[in-house]
């Protein structure tokens, strides 16, 4: 494997038109049509389309944020001035002590 490093460079207008491209590889004369220039242009395209210029710290973290409470607010009278729960269950017809029969031996 070669260890030589090539240095491509590209000049681009704000309208995304390539003005010039060069590379230090043997195929990279002016205008350069080598794979190194293509890789550089592809990396610039990814950088812009994936918005890699935004730092991750610009976005607030969301995993420790409290979840919104899905509860209907009630007045204190509605909470504390209710009938006892036992009376409500008796209205339903629940028998607390059904006819218990203990066998006698």
Structure tokens belonging to residue 52: 């890699």
Residue appearing with tokens 């190194």: 36
What does the pLDDT look like over 28-56, one tens digit per residue? 776 778 899 999 999 999 988 888 877 77
From the first residue on, what is the mean pLDDT of each consecutive set of 10 residues in the chain (105 residues)?
A: 86 90 83 87 90 75 78 82 59 59 58
Q: Is the pTM of this model over 0.95?
A: no
pLDDT value, residue 74? 83
Question: Who's near 53: CB < 8 A, 6+ residues apart?
Answer: 47
Q: What is the 3-state secondary structure (H, E, C) of the chain?
A: CCCCCCCCEEEECCCCCEEEEECCCCCCCCCCCCHHHHHHHHHHHHHHHCCCCCCHHHCCCCCCCCCCCCCCCCCHHHHHCCCCHHHHHHHHCCCCCCCCCCCCC
């Amino acid at each position: 494997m070669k260890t030589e490093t090539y240095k491509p460079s590209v000049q681009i207008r704000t309208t995304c038109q390539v003005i010039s491209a060069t590379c230090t590889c043997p195929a990279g004369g002016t205008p350069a049509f080598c794979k190194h220039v293509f890789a550089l242009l592809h990396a610039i395209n990814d950088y812009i389309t994936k918005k890699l210029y935004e730092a991750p710290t610009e976005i607030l973290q969301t995993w420790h944020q409290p979840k919104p409470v899905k509860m209907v607010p009630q007045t204190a009278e509605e909470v504390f001035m209710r009938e006892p729960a036992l009376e409500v269950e008796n209205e339903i017809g629940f028998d607390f002590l059904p006819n218990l029969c203990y066998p006698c031996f």
